[in-house]
Amino acid sequence: MSTVVIIGAQWGDEGKGKIVDFLTEKCDYVVRFQGGCNAGHTVVVGEEKYILHLIPSGILHKNKKCIIGNGVVLDPSGLLKEIETLTQKGIEIDNNLYIAKHCHLIMPYHIAIEEQSEKKKKIGTTKKGIGPCYTDKIARNGVRMIDLLYPDVLKNKIRANLEIINFLLKNLYNAETLDEANILTQYLNYAEKLKKYIADADILINKAIDSGKKVLFEGAQGTLLDIDHGTYPYVTSSNTIAGGACTGAGVSPRKIDNIIGIVKAYTTRVGEGPFPTEIKDSLGEEIRKRGGEYGATTGRPRRCGWLDLVGLRHSVRVNGFTGLAITKLDILDGIEKLKVCVGYKYGNSILEDFPKEIQILEDCMPVYEELQGWKESTAGIKNYEKLPDNAKKYLKFIEDSLKVKIQIISTGQKRDEIIIKESPL
Ligand code: GDP
Ligand code: IMO
Ligand code: MG
């Protein structure tokens, strides 16, 4: 097996970064294919904690090629800060990072317009300019990485876009407008610093696969935040599902061998939007504390809830997972009874499939099955046999319900706090 796609199976923050970091050991390339610095992937190596936003989590290993694919929306200022932070921690970036020529750039006007639109209609975004940048991409007005090397092209694009955005800022939002010359100078400055990373990423990735190299595709966000298959409009603006790896990297579906769904042993969500299994009492607060469930990008408290098999069945279907990684099992240690949502009650009927209408999802009540918890600590366990029986039963229940094998179980933040039942690579 030479290619593996890593996908968040819920609403993001499932622990993708940790799993990608672990699997990178066996890989040659790690590719990000969608999203931007809305992502926050935390990786703990030894005593050091790293939070990756744009750079693939594989960068923490020596001599692994890390690629930011065309499907990503890249904020140059965010990237430069990330490069600086990692460099200060002794991570080598220069010979290992490549950025697709046709990756779209987040511009200051994307952030400015999102700031205003969030006041009118709150999605609870990360305010990183993600939605407005993808809007420009689809409207064919976007500024791409390669445009940084052509000042006239860059200038004309900025001018044309500002004509519209400044009109909106001034007349619709009564907000300050932005200056073309300032933005141009700022981005030409970024060009100087970033040009060494620009590459024909699609060619690089395909050559690597064709020559038998192992390539890992690192998803950001999660399936229920997918622009098409998530809880629209409370979603992010990209295709977070496995298919996004093909469009966002320029790779044929025929070249994807394995797709691993990362499933947190419970559920979390940041931002607005329906969340049927949300726990609103003190247990939710307790799980948030134990799990350190605060946004890695914005610091916002994450909403916590029980595992939701209805959402996960949908996730299995649209991604075609070949295996699962269950993370944060240790956070459930000591909880006497564990609830798992097996269906949604809507009016007088029980829904087994995740509804597409947001107004229906908002009115669904979870139907729970209760499983016995375990008293013992699972923290740091590396051997499946050492897990408490009830933890094994919990995992088996997930596996049987979703009909996908669990290949990896994570039992702590650190790189080696993991059980590998079957390696996907
Ligand atoms: P990502 O966005 O999917 O990469 O996930 P985040 O990094 O935003 O959030 C996951 C958090 O859980 C991070 O702080 C990880 O260090 C942590 N984490 C990952 N796996 C485990 C685990 O098995 N147990 C515990 N206790 N923490 C974990
Ligand atoms: P990782 O990769 C969790 C959520 C935001 C908001 C919605 C839209 O760390 O799992 P956006 O800024 O993308 O337009 O916000 O999506 N969101 C995330 N939630 N983890 C993430 O990334 C997220 N990235 C965006 O909170 O609800
Ligand atoms: Mg995260």
Shortest-distance atom of ligand 2 to CA 225: 16
Q: Is a pLDDT exceeding 70 seen at residue 1?
A: no
Overall size of the chain counted in residues? 425
Q: How far is CA 355 from CA 10, 280, 363, 405, in A?
A: 15, 22, 11, 25
Tell me how far apart the alpha carbons of residues 4 and 17 are, in angstroms, rounded to a whole number.
Answer: 14
Identify whether 202 is a catalytic site residue: no
- Report CA(328)–ligand 1 centroid distance (Å): 7
Q: How confident is the model at residue 285 (pLDDT cuts 50, 70, 90)?
A: very high
Catalytic residue among 28, 41, 75, 339: 41
Q: Best of 51, 126, 133 to mutate for ligand 2, by most ligand atoms within 8 A of CB?
A: 126
Catalytic residue among 102, 110, 137, 339: 137
Consult the annotation and say whether 16 binds a ligand.
yes
- pLDDT for res 121: 87
**Residue tagged 């024909």 (tokens):** 200
Query: Could you tell me the domains of the chain?
Result: 3-101+197-259 (3.40.440.10), 104-194 (1.10.300.10), 263-420 (3.90.170.10)
Outline where 321-384 has alpha helix (H): 358-363
Average pLDDT over residues 373-393: 98
DSSP state letters, 219-263: --S-GGG-TTTSSTTSS-SS--STHHHHHHHT--GGG--EEEEEE
* pLDDT single digits (tens) 226-242: 999 999 999 999 999 99
* pLDDT single digits (tens) 316-370: 999 999 999 999 999 999 999 999 999 999 999 999 999 999 999 999 999 999 9
pTM given for the model: 0.98
* pLDDT single digits (tens) 194-204: 999 999 999 99
CA atoms within 13 A on the CB side of 376: 11
Average pLDDT over residues 64-80: 98
Mean pLDDT of the residues in the chain: 97
- pLDDT for res 296: 85
Sign of CA dihedral 168, 146, 252, 208: negative
Nearest-CA residue for ligand 1 atom 28 is 413
Tell me how far apart the alpha carbons of residues 34 and 24 are, in angstroms, rounded to a whole number.
Answer: 19
* pLDDT single digits (tens) 286-307: 999 999 999 988 889 999 999 9
Residue 415 gets which letter from DSSP? Answer: T
